[in-house]
Structures are given as C-alpha cells and as structure tokens.
Structure 1
Amino acid sequence: MQQSLNPWITRDAAGSADQEAPGTHLPPEAVITAPLKGMVEPEAADRLGRRTMPGSAALWITGAHGGAGESRIAELLDGACVTDHCWPVLPDGSTPRVLLVCRADMRGLTTARNALTQWASGAAPTLDLLGLAVLADAPGKTPKSLRDFAAIVGGGAPRLWTLPWVEAWRHGDSATSPPAREYHRFITDLAALATDTPPPTTNRKVSP
C-alpha cells in the first residue's frame, strides 16, 4: 500500500481527510484534524498537564515547553490567552480552541511532538486544536535537519506555521507586529480560525 506523505497517518485513512486549511504545508489528504484511532499516548513524564482556566478567550495559546514563546504569540492575537504550558479545561464544559507553540530547536520540537502525540492519542482533554506554530530559536536560517524534523512534527497537527526570528523581541520591543510576511499570514489565519465553526470530530488510523 502506498504511504501518505504524512508519516502520522496511512494513505487509506488520509483519503477521507478534510480539505486543506490555512497554514498547512501538506496536501489535504495528509492532514490530521482529530485524534487518531490506535495512537499510543506518550509516557506520563512526556505529557502536558491540564488546567482549568478562569475567564474566557477566543483562543488559548499552549506552549509545549518553557520559553516556547506563548506569551509573545498571545500578544499578537486578539482575544488570546496563555495556558502556562498546560492543556486548557473550561469550567463551563465548552471546547476551547487551542494553538500549540514551540521553538524550532530539538528540545522544542521534541516536546511539541510529545504534546501532539498526547492529543492524537485522545489522552488530552477535549479541545479544538487549530495547529502548531514553530518559532525560530535563533537569528538566521534554521538548519535543514531541524526544518525537516519540524515538518515531520507538524504532520501531527491540523496546521503548521513556521515563524522567523524577531530581533525586536530580544530587546523587549513587543509593541508592534513583526514585519515578516509569515507573521501577517499567521495572524490572518488565526483571526479567521478563532471565529470559525469547529470541524466535526472523526477518527483515522495510524501508520504501522
């Protein structure tokens, strides 16, 4: 059987996937939009915790690790709040919309992979995961090995955004939006997704 371009799912399971969404760099038949049947959850030490969040937000930003950049991202998006590296649980039982964030180094990508595995296995609380944002961890071009790993990790999310380094943030300047076109597209995508109707939940099979 021919394999999907996304190693997280099989070709036959991918065939019934939803249409490509903004920010996704995979063909539509290779996109994961809901937890996967048969996915094994990560070890307890590799899972994100869960936290009941006070108040409400249009979008919850979950950092996969410390220093992921969740606060910076939340500042860019209207109605967004951070969850302090935990999956959000809402007191009223409603389904939160969540963006997972990590840095583009090996530690950040590995923790994001663990978090996505937790979500894909169904071990995370009920949530509408919009995608993964990978923020550059240093100025300049990200090494190819890390870019390739980010693409693989991002295959476990409904959408993937890779965002460049912002030098102004190093100096504490967060008053204006980053000028890079990747951020403009990212902000536009999230503004639309945060107010869109959540997609129906479906199950898909995991690659052997």
Structure 2
Amino acid sequence: MPQLTTLIPSFAAPVTDRVWLVGAHGGAGCTTIRHSDPERFADAGRALPVSPDPSMPSRIILCAMGTGRGLESLRALLADQSAGLFGASILLGAAITDPAPRVPRPLVAARIQLSSAVRVWRLPHIKGLELDGFPQRYPAAYSRLVRDVDAMPRATAHVG
C-alpha cells in the first residue's frame, strides 16, 4: 500500500459517482456543501477516502473555512497531495467558505494565492446558518460548484 498523508486518517472508500468532501479542519463546511446537493456529494469528514480500486479513484474536494487556521490546514493537505500522499484519489479542487460577510484583506490574499496551486471555489458566508440551520435556497456559488464538477471528465485532475 502506498504511503498516505498523516495529517488526516484515511479509509477505504466505496466506489461512487459522488464527489467526496474532505475537511481540512473541523468546521470546514463539508456538511453545508453536502446538504446543498446530497446526490452529488458525500461527506468524508476529516478523513481521506482512498479507493481500493486504482482504476476508479475517489474524486475529492478539500474544504476549508477561509480563516487563518483553515487556510493553513488546507495548505498542509495540498502539500501532501502534491507529494503524492493521497493514494488512489483525484483532487478536483478546494472549496473555501468565507467565515464572515466581509473577509479581511490578508485572508482574501491568502485565498487568491492558494488558487494559483489548485482550483478554488469561493463559497460565501451564509447568514443565519449557525442558528437557523441549512438554508432552503443556497447562494449561486454552490450551483457553480456543482456545474464545474459536472463539467469535469471522470479521470480529470491529479491522482495522488
């Protein structure tokens, strides 16, 4: 078995057409994204889904909150992925959720810098999520994420 990242645990993932959402840290937004389209996404939590069949690698999106801690956790996972430590998986990109309606400039700059290394989807802060639960209608950025993922050929991106 190839060496895998030690930053998060891994598990043998069932082969699925759904895209796995992998949290770079707790509170990364995976569950919110999954609720936006449960038929399209599967929530792996803070674990790496590795396909036991290398011919059918797991497709994953790394998720992070756009905070300093979240972006650092994402950077560390991207470094491991770049080093080939993601096993039989394909990284489609990273979904970074704004932590507040107005994001401080240094965090915006950090997100932009990450987008030079990986496909980044910026997801807006959803007002009331903490108290009201998942929205009836999601912001348009979530639909763009789905459209982009649907447009990617099954064997797209970098196998770890």
Alignment of 1:44-63 (within 5 A): 44=6, 47-54=7-14, 56-63=16-23
Per-residue deviation at 1:87?
Answer: 1.3
What is the distance in 2 between the residues matched to 1:48 and 1:173? Answer: 27
1:129–1:102 distance in 2 versus 1, CA, 3 Å: same
Q: Secondary structure at the match of 1:83?
A: strand
What is the distance in 2 between the residues matched to 1:136 and 1:175? Answer: 16
Q: Which residue of 2 aligns with 1:35?
A: none
Give the conservation status (yes or no) of the 8 Å contact 1:51–1:83.
no
Deviations 1:6-26 (A, max 9, x none): xxxxxxxxxxxxxxxxxxxxx
Alignment of 1:24-63 (within 5 A): 44=6, 47-54=7-14, 56-63=16-23
Is 1:153 the counterpart of 2:110 in the alignment?
A: no
1:112–1:200 distance in 2 versus 1, CA, 3 Å: closer
Give the conservation status (yes or no) of the 8 Å contact 1:63–1:101.
yes
What is the distance in 1 between the residues matched to 2:146 and 2:128? Answer: 18
Equivalent position amino acid for 2:108 in 1:
R
What is the distance in 1 between the residues matched to 2:145 and 2:40? Answer: 15
1:103–1:55 distance in 2 versus 1, CA, 3 Å: same
What is the distance in 2 between the residues matched to 1:124 and 1:92? Answer: 14
Is 1:197 the counterpart of 2:143 in the alignment?
A: no
Aligned residue pairs: how many?
154
Is 1:115 the counterpart of 2:77 in the alignment?
A: yes
TM-score, normalised by the number of residues in structure 2: 0.84
Is 1:74 the counterpart of 2:74 in the alignment?
A: no
Q: Which residue of 1 aligns with 2:49?
A: 88
Q: Which residue of 1 aligns with 2:87?
A: 125
Percent same amino acid among aligned pairs? 24
Instruction: Give the strand-richer structure, 1 or 2.
Output: 2
RMSD value over aligned CA atoms? 2.4
Is 1:98 the counterpart of 2:55 in the alignment?
A: no
Per-residue deviation at 1:103?
Answer: 0.2
Higher relative contact order (CA 8 A, sep 6+): 1
Larger gyration radius, structure 1 or structure 2: 1
TM-score, normalised by the number of residues in structure 1: 0.66
Give the conservation status (yes or no) of the 8 Å contact 1:57–1:81.
no
Q: Which runs of 5+ in 1 are unaligned?
A: 1-40, 203-208
Q: Which runs of 5+ in 2 are unaligned?
A: none
Give the conservation status (yes or no) of the 8 Å contact 1:62–1:84.
yes
Give the conservation status (yes or no) of the 8 Å contact 2:26–2:46.
yes
Q: Secondary structure at the match of 1:117?
A: helix
Give the conservation status (yes or no) of the 8 Å contact 2:129–2:135.
no
1:161–1:201 distance in 2 versus 1, CA, 3 Å: closer
Per-residue deviation at 1:143?
Answer: 0.6
Q: Secondary structure at the match of 2:132?
A: coil
Equivalent position amino acid for 1:107 in 2:
R
What is the distance in 2 between the residues matched to 1:201 and 1:137? Answer: 28
Per-residue deviation at 1:53?
Answer: 2.5
